Amino acid sequence: MSTKEKTETCNTKKFTELFSQLSYSSDDEQREKIEEMNEVMGKMNKEEFMSVFTKDLSNRMKEMTDEKILSMENAILLLKHVGYCQTLKCFYDFAFKDSFLSDRFQEMIIEEKMMKEEKDEKLLVDLCECYLLLNRWPSSEMSSIIVPCLLKVALKREESEESQKEVEMALLALSNFWSDKVPKELWINEFKEIFQYHKEHHNLTRIAYQSAWKFFLSRTHFDHSLEHVIVNEVHFEREAIRELEELAKWMNWKKKEEEMSKKESKEVLIIGRWLCALGIFFRLFRFWKEEFAELIGSVANVCRTARENYKEISNWCIFVFEAAAGSRDATIEDLLESGAIDAIFEEIHKPTMDDRITNKILNFFMSISRKAKEKKRDEMEEVKRKEAKRKVFEMMEEEGIEDDVIGRYCNIIEGARYFEPLSKCLEDYFAYC
Could you state, in order of their start, the residue ranges of all structural domains in the chain? 1-135
Start-to-end CA distance of the chain, whole Å, equals 47
pLDDT tens-digit profile, the chain (433 residues)? 444 454 557 899 999 999 999 999 999 999 999 999 999 998 888 888 889 999 999 999 999 999 999 999 999 999 999 999 999 888 877 889 889 999 999 999 999 998 877 778 999 999 999 999 999 899 999 999 999 999 999 999 988 899 999 999 999 999 999 888 888 999 999 999 999 999 999 999 999 999 999 999 999 888 888 999 998 899 999 999 999 999 888 777 777 777 777 777 888 889 999 999 999 899 888 788 888 999 999 999 999 988 888 888 999 999 999 999 999 889 999 999 999 999 999 988 887 778 889 899 999 999 999 999 888 888 898 998 899 999 998 998 888 888 888 888 888 776 656 566 788 888 888 876 5
**Ramachandran sector of residue 67 (left: φ over 0; alpha: ψ -120 to 50; beta: rest):** alpha
Amino acid present at 285: F
3-state secondary structure of 97: coil
CA distance 191 to 142: 20
**Cβ(347)–Cβ(361) under 8 Å?**
yes
3-state secondary structure of 388: helix
